[in-house]
Amino acid sequence: MTVQPRIGLEIHVRPVTKTKLFCTCEAGFGGRPNTRCCPRCLGLPGSMPKLNEQAVRQAVKAGLALGCEIPSKSVFVRKGYSYPDLPKGYQITQWEDPICRDGRVELSGKKIGIFRIQLEEDAGKMIHDRGACTLVDYNRCGLPLLEIVTAPELESPEQAAAFVKELIARLRKYGIAECRMEQGGLRMDVNVSLNGGERVEIKNINSIRFMGKALRYEIGRQRELLEQGGAVSYETRRYDERQEITVHMRSKEQSPDYRFFPEPDLPPLLLSREDIAAARRELDQTNHG
């Protein structure tokens, strides 16, 4: 059976900043658990977020480096969901009005579209202690993230890997992000469908090699389903690194209602032409340095 994969990526990148996105806690990696957090990044009552200008500048530079448009206005929203490593019970992110949109990256003569880049905060980290208990480290909570969402225009695992490598090269070249996957500095969600059918999402892949393996397995799994006369379900899966297979997590019908609404404690982010021009000059200086 001839199949044509369509692959889209949602890539979460941690930009280089000195502090977290909405507070002054150090934006470092590791350290003793729960020593790099404060009332703001923990969302304690009465605390108010204050936007990190360096993170905004890095987001604009990322958009310019990836051929995006930079709107003069973007909006932060609350994405509500309950999880132990998200102490506020919601994530501050962007949705319909992101900081960058409509980009293009040329890859071996093919232009891959970028729907948007949104600026958002990271969650904490859950540590499962051999089934005895689950611990939570909030040091990572509130770190800035750039979520880079591509159009479903990649056609093979190899092309997806080449795109991620090109993305990493650009972000490192301009000092936007270090993309250290072993430190959680770049994580990927992958969407794949065959012949225009239902898509399947594979969550939280932390290496290019595992992404390739996950895609090859999932394409084979979907092909076999179709050849047997079955149908591909619209679902979320994860990649099991030990078994080298994708495993069902949840059906999309069971996905939570995130209840997006504008973040009341942050005004719309307004960028002037001078702000964007200054970011472009930084890119040019790096390029010629």
- Measured distance CA(8)–CA(189) in Å, rounded: 9
Q: Which whole-number Å values give the CA distances from 190 to 96, 214, 230, in the listed order?
A: 21, 9, 22
Model pLDDT for residues 101-115, shown as the tens digit of each residue: 999 999 999 999 999
Core vs surface per residue 144-176: b (16+ CB within 10 A) or e: bbbbbbbbbbbeebebbbbbbebbbebbeebeb
CA separation for the pair 264, 78 (Å, rounded): 9
Say how far apart CA 152 and CA 166 lie, in whole Å. Answer: 17
Partners of 117 in the β-ladder? 100, 148
Does pTM top 0.85 for this prediction? yes
Strand partners, 20: none
287 has pLDDT over 90: no
Q: How large a percentage of the chain has pLDDT more than 90?
A: 86
Q: Which 3 state secondary structure label does DSSP give 107?
A: strand
What's the pLDDT score for residue 132? 80
Q: CA 225: distance to chain centroid?
A: 29
| Radius of gyration of the chain from its Cα atoms, rounded to whole angstroms | 19
- DSSP assignment of 98-158 equals -SEEEEEEEETTEEEEEEEEEEEE---EEEEETTTEEEEE-TTTT-EEEEEEE-S-B-SHH
Structure tokens at 133: 């208990």
> Quick one: how far is CA 240 from the chain centroid?
20
Dump pLDDT digits (tens) for 72-85.
Answer: 999 999 999 888 89
Task: Check residue 250 and give its pLDDT.
Answer: 86
| Structure confidence by residue, pLDDT tens digits, 172-198 | 999 999 999 999 999 999 999 999 899
d(CA 226, CA 218): 12
Does the pLDDT value for residue 58 go beyond 80?
yes
Spatial CB neighbours of 253, under 8 Å, sequence gap ≥ 6: 234
pLDDT for residue 121 is more than 80: yes
Take residue 198 and report the two structure tokens written for it.
């239902």
pLDDT at residue 1 is higher than 90 = no
> Phi and psi at residue 177, in whole multiples of 5°?
-155, 150
Confirm if 81 and 47 have CB atoms less than 8 A apart. no
Tens-digit pLDDT profile for residues 257-278: 889 999 999 999 999 999 999 9
Supply 109's token pair: 């003569």
